[in-house]
Amino acid sequence: MHRRHFLSTTAAAAAALAAPRVLRAAATPARIPIGFLGATYSHGPAKIELAMKSPDWDFVGVCDPTPAGRQICEKLGAKMISQDELLARARVVAVESDIRDHAAHALLALRAGKHVHLEKPCAATLADAHAVIALARERKLLVQGGFMWRYHPGFRAIFEAVRAGWLGDVYLVRGFISNNLAAARRPEWAEFSGGAMFELGSHLIDAATRLLGPPKSVTPFLARHGKFDDTLRDNNVAVLDYERARAVLFNTALQAGATPQRSFEVLGTKGSATLMPIEPGKLTLDLTAAAGPYKKGAQDVPLPSYKRYEDDFIELAAAVRGEKKLSVSLDEELLVAETVLRASGMS
């Protein structure tokens, strides 16, 4: 997909990103049956809890036969059901299993005619990523990627400023995402050759790719610098090159201290936008001239309150009801999946 075509086809999605959260209609709509395939991914418990409490969803249960999944469900008070019952009763399936099972579980749900919320990364191979999107397209079903910052108000504001031209021509995107991964979890992330870039850095790859479109080239720099007896690539950089822009994304699993360093910065010919830290969000714009709702010069941008995953599931419910389209199209989901794999040295 050429970048010009990509940008033209995502204008509507950009407008949706800039808009406030989806508002429910005055009349309370019927709840949508949702079930979970897996509970063990790190985002899974919070999403299960959200679905159990949300007025949008009729929570039918969780299918996860693993001891870890059973323990999570017992702690949450979430009903456990069989795979057959899940696929029979749910209209939407949320895939929150281990990464190695993401694509297989998504395909299982799509073949059963279910819309899918698919935890990131959506697939460990290009073939699996293409298979998921192709089947969703063929069956006219929804696939929503589970990247946790897509609905973050700071990212929304940055997308709006870029799309509206308030920052001028973007020439550089810089991102940093870190954690201090416990030694016991390192083998889990080391299962994939992309290591921490594939597992954690994918959040930044998602944002940069949707902001700039298809890169001309992607160059990963993956390294194992931690003093651990494993193969995890834990100190990484990915460079996404464009015709007149570059994105440089840093990722490490070695960050010391209680607060991981996480930031996203966009530099253009008319100004810059810096989201640092990402959570809790602090956004600063610095403009050469007044633009949109912003004045000339440096300024802090007030951000509304934000809770991870909440707006993702509000929008998904609205899309299932046919009230709106998802902000991220199937084409974009595939582009992100491809770029994540390239940036992780896995394609």
- Cα–Cα–Cα angle for 330, 213, 115, rounded to 5 degrees: 15
Residue of 309, 260, 301 lying closest to 154 (CA atoms): 301
Residue of 278, 187, 285, 193 lying closest to 229 (CA atoms): 187
Query: Which pLDDT tens digits describe the chain residue by residue (347 residues)?
Result: 455 455 555 554 454 444 445 545 456 789 999 999 999 999 999 999 999 999 999 999 999 999 999 999 999 999 999 999 999 999 999 999 999 999 999 999 999 999 999 999 999 999 999 999 999 999 999 999 999 999 999 999 999 999 999 999 999 999 999 999 999 999 999 999 999 999 999 999 999 999 999 999 999 999 999 999 999 999 999 999 999 999 999 999 999 887 788 999 999 999 999 999 999 999 999 999 999 999 999 999 999 999 999 999 999 999 999 999 999 999 999 999 999 999 999 99
Q: Which residue ranges make up each domain of the chain?
A: 3-148+310-329, 153-304
* CATH ID of 3-148+310-329, from 1.10.3210.10, 3.40.50.740, 3.40.50.720, 3.40.50.2300: 3.40.50.720
The CATH code for residues 153-304 is 3.30.360.10
pTM of the model: 0.90
Q: Judge residue 102's burial from the number of C-beta atoms within 10 Å of its C-beta, 0-12 exposed, 13-18 middle, 19 or more buried.
A: buried
For the record, the structure tokens of 269 come out as 């010919």
Task: Report how far apart, in Å, the C-alpha atoms of 252 and of each of 4, 106, 306 are.
Answer: 33, 29, 25
